[in-house]
Amino acid sequence: MSVGAMRGLRRAARWLKYRFASRALILMYHRVTALPTDPHLLAVRPDHFAEQKEEIRRHCIPIRLQELIEALRERKVPNRAVVVTFDDGYADNLHEAKPVLEHYGIPATVFVTAGHVGNRREFWWDDLDRVLLQPGTLPARLRLAMKGRPCDCELGDARTYTENDYRQHRDWHIERQDDPSGRHRLFRTLYAGLSALSGGERETVMDELLAWAGAEPTARRSHRTLTTEELIRLQAGGLVDVGAHTMTHPYLATLTGAEQNREIRHSKERLEAILGCAVTSFAYPHGSITPESVAILSEAGFVSACCSHPDAVWQDADPFCLPRVVVRDWSWKPFKRWLRWWIDG
Q: Which chain residues interact with Zn ion by CB under 5 A?
A: 87-88, 285
- Please check whether residue 86 is in contact with residue 97, taking contact to mean a CB–CB distance below 8 angstroms: yes
Q: How far is the CB of 216 from Zn ion (least distance, A)?
A: 24
- What gap in Å lies between CA 207 and CA 69, rounded to an integer? 41
Give 61 or 192: the residue with its C-beta nearer to Zn ion: 192
Beta carbons within 8 Å of 129's beta carbon, 6+ residues apart: 37, 39, 40, 187
Closer to Zn ion by Cβ: residue 62 or 285: 285
Burial 69-108 (b: 16+ CB within 10 A, else e): bebbeeeebeebbbbbbbbbbbbbbbbbbbebbeeeebbb
The residue (of 55 and 329) whose beta carbon lies closer to Zn ion is 329
CB of 127 to Zn ion, least distance (A): 15
User: To the nearest whole angstrom, how small is the minimum distance from the Cβ of residue 40 to Zn ion?
Assistant: 10
**Which residue number, 285 or 319, has a Cβ lying nearer to Zn ion?**
285
Using a 10 angstrom Cβ sphere, with 0-12 exposed, 13-18 middle and 19 or more buried, the burial of residue 24 is: buried
Q: Which pairing describes strands 325-326 and 61-62: parallel, antiparallel, or unpaired?
A: unpaired
User: Which of 161/284 has CB closer to Zn ion?
Assistant: 284
Q: How far is the CB of 156 from Zn ion (least distance, A)?
A: 33
Please identify, using beta-carbon distances, which residue of 52 and 246 lies nearer to Zn ion.
246
- State the Cα–Cα distance between residues 290 and 127, nearest whole angstrom: 28
- As measured in angstroms, the least distance from the Cβ of 105 to Zn ion is 26
Question: Which of 192, 179, 314, 300 has its CA nearest to residue 254?
Answer: 192
Shortest distance, CB of residue 145 to Zn ion, whole angstroms? 26
Residue number closest to Zn ion, CB atom: 87
CB 222 within 8 A of CB 35: yes
Nearer to Zn ion, 51 or 88 (CB): 88
User: What distance in Å separates the CA atoms of residue 142 and residue 140, rounded to the nearest whole number?
Assistant: 7
CB of 286 to Zn ion, least distance (A): 7
Closest CA to 39 of 150, 187, 190, 257: 187
